Structure 1
Amino acid sequence: MKVEIINSFIKALESTLNENGGFVLYCKGKKALNCVNINKKVAIIIDLFGKSTIHGKVIITMKEEIAQKIIGFLLGGAVVSEIDSMGVSALGEYGSWVVSSATTNVQEFGEKITDFKVDIETNLEGIEDKEVYCYGKPFISLEYLIDNHDIELSVAVS
């Protein structure tokens, strides 16, 4: 994994949350993972594939409260009490914003992102233990604190 690519996604996450939502992020730490656990969390799962020069997964996981705040911002300041189909759609759009921002960032390193898919998982009840893997690639994961809630960015790309 190239550091420049990981940094491009870090910058994309931080700038979209700060500039588009007014969120202030505090980085709590980083770690390496073989998989990302999405149990009792909302997850934005971005697959990079096809003609892109970067392939892999980017996963943004968060507690329901942060997801509701992001959805509320995207819906014009609405108060969101549950994540319905409109909320899932808004989170998908937010995932696309992150990819668009990262696409601009990686171009300066001669890379391109052309093909991607954004999926939203809302495993809030935690009925089953869900983990996401990336074809044997390890994830670099950064933990942030926003409004006293955790949000995590995990990147596994090549």
Structure 2
Amino acid sequence: MEAHHINAITSAATTIVKQHLGIEAAVSKPFVSGKQFMSSDISVVMGVNGTLEGQIICTMKRETACSIVGSMMGGLEINELDEMGWSAVQEFGNWTAGKAASELSNVKETIDISPPVINEGQSTFRMEKTFLTFPLESDIGEIYIHVSVTPAKS
């Protein structure tokens, strides 16, 4: 993965949290997760296709997901995710991936994002390619952005 691809994706995530949720966020020290990693309570999984291909997976604790949903609903206190809450978590993934696609277009990459899939419960994700993980620190908790994208094979 090239630095300008990573910068575009992490910029997209912090922008979404700040602009759409009104919450300050910053990327802390990234690390290599390797070809597998253990997720948090809730994961939003999105496939990437186009000039780049791979996966973007956002993972978070349940409390963080509830805070995201509450912020999306105007500051409501959410303690449990219902169907509307799950839909909002998916939409958060859509926002993040859509903004990443926009940011990547600035560095001459064109990608399509698959509809997000939600995984509930801790899981081990495995892939042939290496994941880099970017912890996004915020007042509502950490969101881990796991990225594995490479140039598409022609």
Assess same fold via TM > 0.5.
yes
Q: Give the aligned residue type for 1:37.
A: M
Quote the Cα distance in structure 2 between the aligned partners of 1:137 and 1:98: 22
Cα root mean square deviation, aligned: 1.6
Kindly report which structure 2 residues correspond to 1:1-158, keeping only aligned pairs within 5 A, or say none.
1-34=1-34, 35-39=36-40, 41-49=41-49, 52-123=50-121, 126=122, 130-134=123-127, 136-147=128-139, 149-158=141-150
Give the drift of 1:87.
1.0
Quote the Cα distance in structure 1 between the aligned partners of 2:135 and 2:107: 25
Q: Give the aligned residue type for 2:23.
A: F
- On the 8 A contact 1:44/1:61 being kept in 2, the answer is yes
User: TM-score under structure 1 normalisation?
Assistant: 0.86
Give the drift of 1:148.
6.3
Q: What does the per-residue CA deviation read over 1:97-156, in whole Å, with 9 as the maximum and x for residues that have no partner? A: 111111111112221112423111121xx5xxx11123x111111123222622211110
- 5+ unaligned residues in a row in structure 1: which ranges? none
User: TM-score under structure 2 normalisation?
Assistant: 0.88
Higher strand residue share? 2
- On the 8 A contact 2:57/2:147 being kept in 1, the answer is yes
Residue 110 of structure 1 aligns to a residue whose secondary structure is coil
- On the 8 A contact 2:130/2:148 being kept in 1, the answer is yes
- 5+ unaligned residues in a row in structure 2: which ranges? none
- On the 8 A contact 1:48/1:117 being kept in 2, the answer is no
Q: How many residues are aligned here?
A: 149
- On the 8 A contact 1:9/1:102 being kept in 2, the answer is yes
Quote the Cα distance in structure 1 between the aligned partners of 2:23 and 2:73: 16
Q: Give the aligned residue type for 1:36.
A: F
How many percent of aligned residue pairs carry the same amino acid? 24
